[in-house]
Chains A and B, each alone.
Chain A
Amino acid sequence: MYRYNEFDEAFVRSRVAQFRGQVERRIDGSLTEDEFRPLRLMNGLYLQLHAYMLRVAIPYGTLRVDQMRRLADIAERWDRGYGHFTTRQNIQFNWPRLKDVPDILDALADVGMHAIQTSGNCVRNVTADHFAAAAADEIADPRPIAELLREWSTDHPEFQFLPRKFKIAITGSPNDRAVTKAHDIGLRMVRNEAGEPGFEVLVGGGLGRTPMLAQVIRDFLPQADLLPYIEAILGAYNLKGRRDNKYKARIKITVFENGLDAFKADVEERFARLRSQWSGADQEVLKEIEAQFVPPAFRNVPVDEFEAFRAGNAVFRAWADTNLHPHKVDGYAIVSISLKKHGDTPGDATAHQMRVMADLAERYGHGELRVSHEQNIILPHVHKSDLPAVWASLREADLATANIGLVSDIIACPGMDYCALATARSIPIAQQIAMRFEEMQVEHEVGPLKIKISGCINACGHHHVGHIGILGLDRAGVENYQVTLGGDGTETAAIGEKMGPGFPAEEIVGAVERLVLGYLEIRRDAEETFLETFRRVGPEPFKGFLYGTEETADAA
């Protein structure tokens, strides 16, 4: 995995020292809040409802053991003993005190981490497939490219004051687990007919108040052209993007208002000009980065014990059936650790749990952890013979919930419980839905179903791409929850369709229950997923389940 070189180290340390001085000057009154605010945001420090919040970048969702342990230390020493993993593969600490933040940033720098560009109108943390370098369906590991983008975009002088924030996601697999179509730029690694590596480049996706799916701006971009092409896109956006209206400032609006063709023409013209200025130094850097992403020394030992244990232990089997994914290497599995225990806060892990996961990664996982945008933790490389031991340790730490991809594996933003922008709560709704389905014991029967909850229109909880999306709003001083159906964040991406009137907090769980039970009634067979059924029958039967306005018996 990537380790900082001298330049990274010096840059991050100098940034911490600068921020330490800025905090001191804010506290002694030399800086006003108006002066300080952009400085703290550049370093990931927000002011929320009850406290400051520090958002720490986890580039492309990859963590080393020492880094996870350090996050645990920070949670314990400077926060309230836990951290919140987010849909952008970051971690947020909800309770830091202003004067402690420079020390926290120094502690992060010790393990090659930072909070730079986790806020502000700049290129944010580059996210990637959380199964990168492990997935059986992968063409290539996207993380070296993500690291190249991180280095290039960090403190990039031209792109520190874009019209609005800018999010890039990359996947190396045709099965899109990185929601690339909902990003400002989505990159899909592909090969051309000659077998050369390159990218399908998507632009102008985003959720928020104006959800849009990204469009293909280049169907094949050679790998060596990536940075000049991204520079051309950002350059075009930097000039054309609207700065007069915050709600129209994202690149999705720029592309929409100018039209893809006109925007593309601008990008291509810039690219033609810029390309010759790139001498190839970036490709040299990429080679150095790639050398740091060597595959681990995979073992080749029998898996008989795993098979025997699986056959003999129903609880383990249930976990293995939902929480394991196929690995590209025989005998290995990708382990998803659910941070969605029924009734708990989605995405939260205690310091103890972080240490347990770090220990497991160290002992059984070739030293690697990942954060998924679905707010779970991944051990990407575990030999199947070690799975019984891994599972036993996870159980002891309350981390063995067998619900990956099921109803209770809910994405939820912090919502009104923490966020200054929220219009309603998300977390309690997620908790109640999970508990309801736990009581009903139908999760496994229901099968793959993604519920995503946002506590405001900004859509941090990705509700637009939830099979069931829930948006919390403030209706005349009361929390109200609007339902969207049929959203999809994968390679078959779709924006969910808004149903009718929203539901008050005490009715939304029942509404979701009716949707799911209704689906069970009308699905073609046990193989047809919720999303497939919705696509087959359309919204009307589901509206019937929600509002009782339809003869549901005829709907199938």
Chain B
Amino acid sequence: MSRRFTPKVVSANHLLEGDAVWLTEDDRWTRDMAEAELIEDEAHAAIRLLFAKGQPGVVVGAELVDASAGAGGPVPTHFREAFRTHGPTNYHHGKRAEGLTPRGKIPGNETLSNV
């Protein structure tokens, strides 16, 4: 028996800037994971991934990553993905420096609360 499908978002890196982006329900690529489309159906996920992979001029490395429903939109379930919404922890660079609210839990960094 196949494993139960867990909710996903489509994520990638932007071709020009290289930063993390997520696919929205209305087919945009957003830098704010809160706007991402949370996909709860396996067949729909496959279609959305195909759609994402059909945009090689915009993004690189589109893939499905685990997420869950959280306050005001999807949140990552793994800390690697949380890093992608946050930026590095040693400098105030990356997403949080661009005014975006980090999502998900980064271990040892309990100031993030939107989980």
Binding site for B on A (CB under 8 A): 26-27, 29, 32-33, 47-52, 80, 94-95, 97-99, 345, 416-418, 425, 427-428, 431, 474, 477-479, 504-506
Is A505 in contact with B60, judged by CB distance below 8 angstroms?
no
Also in contact, A51 and B79, with CB within 8 A (given A427-B89, A427-B90):
no
A27, A416, A504: most-surrounded residue (chain B CB, <10 A): A416
The chain A residue with its CB closest to the CB of B86 is A50
The chain B residue with its CB closest to the CB of A425 is B89
Task: Give every chain B residue within 8 A of A416 (Cβ-Cβ).
Answer: 79-80, 83
Decide if B7 is an interface residue (CB 8 Å cutoff).
Answer: no
Task: Give every chain B residue within 8 A of A95 (Cβ-Cβ).
Answer: 93
Is B95 in contact with A479, judged by CB distance below 8 angstroms?
no
Interchain pairs with CB closer than 8 A, number: 79
> Which size bracket describes the interface of B in this complex?
20 to 34
- Can you list 25 residue pairs at the A/B interface with Cβ under 8 Å? A27-B15, A27-B57, A29-B56, A32-B56, A33-B60, A47-B18, A49-B84, A50-B20, A50-B93, A50-B94, A50-B95, A51-B17, A94-B88, A97-B16, A97-B17, A97-B18, A345-B91, A416-B79, A427-B88, A427-B89, A428-B89, A478-B79, A478-B107, A479-B108, A504-B107
Q: How far is the CB of A480 from chain B (nearest CB, A)?
A: 10
Decide if B35 is an interface residue (CB 8 Å cutoff).
Answer: no
B17, B83, B90: most-surrounded residue (chain A CB, <10 A): B90
Task: Give every chain A residue within 8 A of B78 (Cβ-Cβ).
Answer: 477
Q: Which single member of B60, B77, B79, B87 contacts A50 (CB below 8 Å)?
A: B87
Q: How far, in whole Å, are A29 and B57 apart by their CA atoms in the complex?
A: 5
Decide if B24 is an interface residue (CB 8 Å cutoff).
Answer: no
Task: Give every chain B residue within 8 A of A98 (Cβ-Cβ).
Answer: 15-18
Is A50 in contact with B88, judged by CB distance below 8 angstroms?
yes
- With contacts A417-B83, A428-B89 known, what are 10 further pairs, Cβ within 8 A? A27-B57, A29-B57, A49-B83, A49-B84, A94-B88, A97-B17, A427-B89, A428-B90, A505-B108, A506-B108
Is B84 in contact with A50, judged by CB distance below 8 angstroms?
yes
Is A33 in contact with B61, judged by CB distance below 8 angstroms?
yes
Also in contact, A50 and B108, with CB within 8 A (given A29-B56, A29-B57, A427-B89):
no
The DSSP consensus for interface residues of chain A is mixed
Decide if B40 is an interface residue (CB 8 Å cutoff).
Answer: no
The chain B residue with its CB closest to the CB of A99 is B16
Q: How far, in whole Å, are A94 and B91 apart by their CA atoms in the complex?
A: 12
The chain B residue with its CB closest to the CB of A343 is B90
Q: How far, in whole Å, are A541 and B10 apart by their CA atoms in the complex?
A: 50
Also in contact, A27 and B94, with CB within 8 A (given A47-B60, A47-B61, A505-B108):
no
Q: How far, in whole Å, are A416 and B108 apart by their CA atoms in the complex?
A: 14
Q: How far is the CB of B30 from chain A (nearest CB, A)?
A: 15
Q: How far is the CB of A13 from chain B (nearest CB, A)?
A: 25
Those of B64-95 within 8 Å (CB) of chain A: 77-80, 83-84, 87-91, 93-95
Also in contact, A49 and B15, with CB within 8 A (given A33-B56, A479-B79):
no
Task: Give every chain A residue within 8 A of B93 (Cβ-Cβ).
Answer: 50, 80, 94-95
Task: Give every chain B residue within 8 A of A345 (Cβ-Cβ).
Answer: 90-91
Q: How far, in whole Å, are A477 and B93 apart by their CA atoms in the complex?
A: 24
Q: How far, in whole Å, are A418 and B84 apart by their CA atoms in the complex?
A: 9
Q: How far, in whole Å, are A49 and B79 apart by their CA atoms in the complex?
A: 12
Is A479 in contact with B107, judged by CB distance below 8 angstroms?
yes
Q: Which single member of A26, A50, A418, A427 contacts B19 (CB below 8 Å)?
A: A50
The chain B residue with its CB closest to the CB of A53 is B18
Q: How far, in whole Å, are A29 and B79 apart by their CA atoms in the complex?
A: 33
The chain A residue with its CB closest to the CB of B95 is A50
Q: How far, in whole Å, are A27 and B89 apart by their CA atoms in the complex?
A: 30
Task: Give every chain A residue within 8 A of B108 (Cβ-Cβ).
Answer: 428, 479, 505-506
Is A417 in contact with B90, judged by CB distance below 8 angstroms?
yes
Q: How far, in whole Å, are A32 and B61 apart by their CA atoms in the complex?
A: 11
Q: How far, in whole Å, are A114 and B95 apart by their CA atoms in the complex?
A: 29
Q: Which single member of B16, B18, B56 contacts A48 (CB below 8 Å)?
A: B18
Q: How far, in whole Å, are A427 and B90 apart by their CA atoms in the complex?
A: 7
The chain A residue with its CB closest to the CB of B97 is A80
Is A417 in contact with B56, judged by CB distance below 8 angstroms?
no
Q: Which single member of B15, B16, B88, B107 contacts A418 (CB below 8 Å)?
A: B88
Q: How far, in whole Å, are A99 and B17 apart by their CA atoms in the complex?
A: 9
Task: Give every chain A residue within 8 A of B83 (Cβ-Cβ).
Answer: 49-50, 416-417
Task: Give every chain A residue within 8 A of B80 (Cβ-Cβ).
Answer: 49, 416, 474
Task: Give every chain B residue within 8 A of A417 (Cβ-Cβ).
Answer: 83, 88-90
* List of 10 A-B pairs having minimum Cβ-Cβ separation, nearest first: A417-B88, A52-B18, A51-B18, A29-B57, A50-B94, A427-B90, A345-B90, A33-B60, A505-B108, A98-B16
Q: How far, in whole Å, are A487 and B18 apart by their CA atoms in the complex?
A: 37
Task: Give every chain A residue within 8 A of B84 (Cβ-Cβ).
Answer: 49-50
Q: How far is the CB of B28 from chain A (nearest CB, A)?
A: 19
Also in contact, A80 and B91, with CB within 8 A (given A97-B16, A428-B108):
yes
Q: How far, in whole Å, are A98 and B14 apart by their CA atoms in the complex?
A: 10
Q: How far, in whole Å, are A146 and B18 apart by their CA atoms in the complex?
A: 34
Q: How far, in whole Å, are A94 and B89 apart by their CA atoms in the complex?
A: 14
Task: Give every chain A residue within 8 A of B60 (Cβ-Cβ).
Answer: 33, 47
Q: How far, in whole Å, are A26 and B83 apart by their CA atoms in the complex?
A: 27
Q: How far is the CB of B90 from chain A (nearest CB, A)?
A: 5
